A and B are shown apart, each in its own frame.
Chain A
């Protein structure tokens, strides 16, 4: 991947089209050097995948190819710009579902080629790291980033833009994935994060507890698979003989589960901050929209001398085109762009990125 981002280009003013199709959201956005984010459109496939209890890769790809180009048109109309005013195209090239990534990458590449403008591969996780910058462009490294989504749970030391160090990673399931799976066991819908939060919000007091995994051992890694099994046991204990689960049990289990996850994430963030002596925390990814997590992390930062915390706005926590357009803009401004071949990297280590 590194070798494909070698050509140097110089552009003075810049309007960048961003395309995100790495999973189950089609996100298209336009970022302007002067005016900032001038349009962003999102088509979520969540309803379609709900019936299957998770993302079906082939169906996701089919939806992307139907939706992406109409969204590009819509974004240009919203921003009242023409295609000839585009100066660059950014597309997510990984990590993600290979078939889904290909749609956005091929479309983006074809547009860039035909318009004679540069194209840039965007790393999906770097885009998440940059999502808070859409509203706060002055966030500067170094800081700790907690990236929590359906596919990832990572603590990252951002020493500088483009220079990332993975401090902690999940040893098994990602946090968002466990939200999805437990929500499915509770039969309360997909995506699991909002569903569990909705039930947990109805709890007056928590009567059940679940263990907080990996908090009793040193280190910054996560493990949520055991928590999933514990939740499963709890669900089976509460199941009535006719197979149903009383709604109070759903509320109690959802609450216990949410608390176990948010406590774990908070404890690990505290450790990461103290290990690096960094005072700023940046939170991104779908689970970053969880209110209990935000409350706890705000409290944590309140205890850090000179501590600051940044989140993307709620709509940019989950996958979106805006963060891709912005990240592409940053890399294109730094003179980077892709070679001619479209290179998809379903597994692309964040640490392989060139400095910015």
Chain B
């Protein structure tokens, strides 16, 4: 187990987790618009609890998105600054993979209906402006979420490829199926619309990325918005 600090602020949940010496510390708070105020204290508190110095960190991970643009930039800027200060590698983790992981944890802990050997997770979150963030993951109790296709941005009306009946649904868009008719064709075995990604899940995925040496530099610790800049209308 590597010594990793992780930040996840792609939604209204603000969370930080620290893994060191087979221990995991986490701070998690639902706190819309308070991420900048909370994050530094959360990080300092975890570093203190674990009695770690910065140079002992082997990597800093953050949820790269998709999600709230501002939230993604807060996580990215904090990860950039901390990793740059001590030349620590950065791990970029999909916030959707983290959410799929959270759904799996939740299913294992609470829901007997789910086939526990292998799960397909459909991650759907409201991207506003009649769009949907959509991701599909396969995971099992012994295997981390693997994307079946890359996370994407879809118009609300666009068809989604069929999902198996035993799939798990996670993300707020599942509670807004009137707004996203494409989700109506899917009948998941369990639906966790209220769950949000947390830094604890980022750690799980980051540990694997670090083992595979899939790190990046502080300068490249950038959000993945999915909404490209071309979406902005220019004024002639």
Contact = CB atoms under 8 A, between A and B. Distances in A.
Q: Do chains A and B touch in the complex (CB under 8 A)?
A: yes
Interface of A: 51-53, 56, 58-59, 61-62, 65-66, 68-70, 72-73, 83, 98-99, 102-103, 105-115, 340-344
21 contacts: A52-B232, A58-B232, A61-B69, A61-B70, A62-B69, A65-B73, A70-B219, A102-B36, A102-B77, A105-B36, A106-B77, A106-B78, A110-B79, A110-B85, A111-B84, A113-B44, A113-B81, A113-B82, A114-B86, A341-B41, A344-B36
Interface residues of B, number: 32
Nearest to A104: B77
Contacts of B76: 65
Interface of B: 36-41, 43-44, 54, 69-70, 73-74, 76-82, 84-86, 218-219, 222-223, 225, 229, 232, 234-235
A115 B84 CA distance: 10
A114 B43 CA distance: 10
Contacts of A113: 40, 43-44, 81-82
A65 B69 contact: no
B203 to A, nearest CB: 18
B96 to A, nearest CB: 20
Nearest to A89: B81
**List of 3 A-B pairs having minimum Cβ-Cβ separation, nearest first:** A110-B81, A114-B85, A106-B77
Which DSSP category, helix, strand, loop or mixed, fits chain B's interface? helix
A68 B69 CA distance: 17
A343 B33 CA distance: 11
Residues of A contacting B: mostly: helix
Nearest to B218: A69
Given A115-B85, A340-B41, A106 B232 contact: no
Given A69-B219, A83-B85, A102-B73, A107 B80 contact: yes
Given A56-B232, A341-B41, A114 B69 contact: no
A139 to B, nearest CB: 33
B36 A343 contact: yes
A343 B229 CA distance: 28
A59 B78 contact: no
A51 to B, nearest CB: 5
A342 B38 CA distance: 8
Contacts of A72: 84
Given A73-B219, A99-B69, A99-B73, A62 B225 contact: yes
B89 to A, nearest CB: 14
Nearest to A67: B219
A53 B232 CA distance: 13
A106 B234 contact: no
Given A102-B74, A342-B36, A52 B222 contact: no
B176 to A, nearest CB: 23
Contacts of A344: 36
Given A52-B232, A108-B81, A109-B78, A58 B69 contact: yes
Contacts of A106: 36, 39, 73-74, 77-78, 81
Given A62-B69, A107-B77, A113-B43, 11 more contacts: A59-B229, A65-B222, A65-B223, A69-B80, A69-B219, A102-B74, A106-B73, A115-B85, A340-B41, A343-B36, A343-B37
Contacts of B82: 110-111, 113-114
A110 B80 contact: yes
Nearest to B227: A58
A98 B80 CA distance: 19
